[in-house]
Amino acid sequence: MENTKAIKTALISVYHKDKLDAIVKLLNNYKVKIYSTGGTLDFISGCGVEAIPVEDLTGYPSILGGRVKTLHPKVFGGILARRDNENDQFQLSEYTIPEIDLVIVDLYPFEQTVASGASDPEIIEKIDIGGIALIRAAAKNYKDVVIVSNRDQYDSLIDILQNNHCSTSLEQRRVFATEAFATSSHYDTAIFTYFGNGFPQPAFRSSVNGVTPLRYGENPHQKGVFYGDMASLFDQLHGKEISYNNLLDIDAAVCLAKEFADPTVAILKHNNACGVATRQNIKDAWVDALAGDPLSAYGGVIIANRAIDEATAEEMNKIFFEVVLAPAYSEGALTILKSKKNRIILVLKDFQLPAYTQRSLLNGVLVQERDSHSEVPAELKVVTEKAPTAEQINDMLFANIIVKHSKSNSIVFAKNRQLIASGVGQTSRVDAVKHAIEKAHGFNFDLNGAVMASDAFFPFADSVENAAKAGVKAVIQPGGSVRDQETVDFCNANGLTMVVSGIRHFKH
């Protein structure tokens, strides 16, 4: 191995002690001299291994309530000294500073302390100073020093020490250093976010741990990767590797499905719903969701907010789809769904979506609060002479959820809590209405008595006029156009009911 270096001395100072005993005993077997501090020193001694207190090296005790323990030239000199630099080596000898070849250190749990709701003084005390300095120093001098910056690396270190007789290569040390700088960067970002005190922050900083390489990006000629913890989102029970485009549809599906409390199935294609239905049971929800657009459902992503049973799986298995998500599956359902070897089957976990969304563009990043507002009956203002029935209100709120999660300009037709048709991603609202009408008629849906939802106001009455001719009887929209009254007048003259929510739901 290139530039192999034996580990003769180690500094160990960690907050989390689990799995440390195996490393300590292994280092002891190789006669490695260990320096340590405080609780870590006690832990090492408890393992039956001798360690030297850092205070014996520095000549100073831990002071200021433990705030200063390792911040001393005899510690940092031994870490930062270049082994091939004569002047560095002379100074080590002059000041009796031992070389330190391995540093194992982790950081105070700052993020966990913030999440616990602790007080500001308690949070401030969890800002690590010595640990972060040790990490950066050892990582900077990776040509000579190994830095282990979190307990997730313990198994890798043990393998290397066992296989290489307590030695490391330059490549291995650089990998550890890279992970160390990722640790320090993430830690500093968390502290900055806390001090930034809400939204907006004075600068954009984001840090996401976990990486999953993808086969490619949106297209085969583009490289792609997912940063995040997939294991906290879902468990994959079956199927091929999840793709970049799968993840986009999965995200859209999860955001939509979280809006529904009753048994609901949604089918998505290219981030838009092509089928949604809410029913008394999940099988009926699937049958009616598929009926909304069985053509677009081919190759889509399916999400259910209830467990999928065998009867539902039998119906689902009649078409080709790429991904299915549900909170659970019966054994019989899994047997059926696994009949297609590439079909991705995911068990969806209960997790919270981030409060803010971000998108890179031009030479920067757009950040905004997530559109988490969902209208309720009390928020709706009836603006027509005719008031909606309770059934129409239910359908309008159902349609409004779907239109909120559809690409603008967007129009949704619904009846009996079933998506009948939608017009999405259109450059004009009139075109969105026309497209939705054509789709509804194409699948033999009767629009008479249906409701219409719009993600934004109607600039003119023409969209409502076209919908009314097709049979729509109730409309929900944000309102806010200077020509709102023209649309209301048309509704009054033709027996339609209209409510305004006051909330626009653009999605670009």
Active site residue 140: yes
Contacts within 8 Å (CB) and 24+ apart, 257-266:
257/303, 257/304, 257/305, 257/325, 258/353, 259/374, 259/401, 259/404, 259/405, 260/305, 260/401, 263/304, 263/305, 263/306, 264/304, 264/305, 264/306, 265/289, 265/302, 265/303, 265/304, 265/305, 266/302, 266/303
Rounded to whole angstroms, the Cα distance separating 287 from 313 reads 11
234: exposed, middle or buried (C-beta count within 10 Å: 0-12, 13-18, 19+)?
Answer: buried
* Beta pairing partners, 53: 36
Active site residue 341: no
Active-site residue, selected from the candidate residues 8, 33, 140, 238: 140
Distance (Å, rounded) from C-alpha 502 to C-alpha 13? 57
Tokens representing residue 220 in the block:
């085969």
**Count of Cβ atoms closer than 10 Å to residue 259 Cβ:** 18
How far apart CA 401 and CA 267 sit, in angstroms, is: 14
Nearest 5°: the CA angle 367, 247, 364 is 25
CA atoms within 13 A on the CB side of 165: 4
Set 33, 240, 270, 386: catalytic member: 270
Cite the active site residues: 140, 270
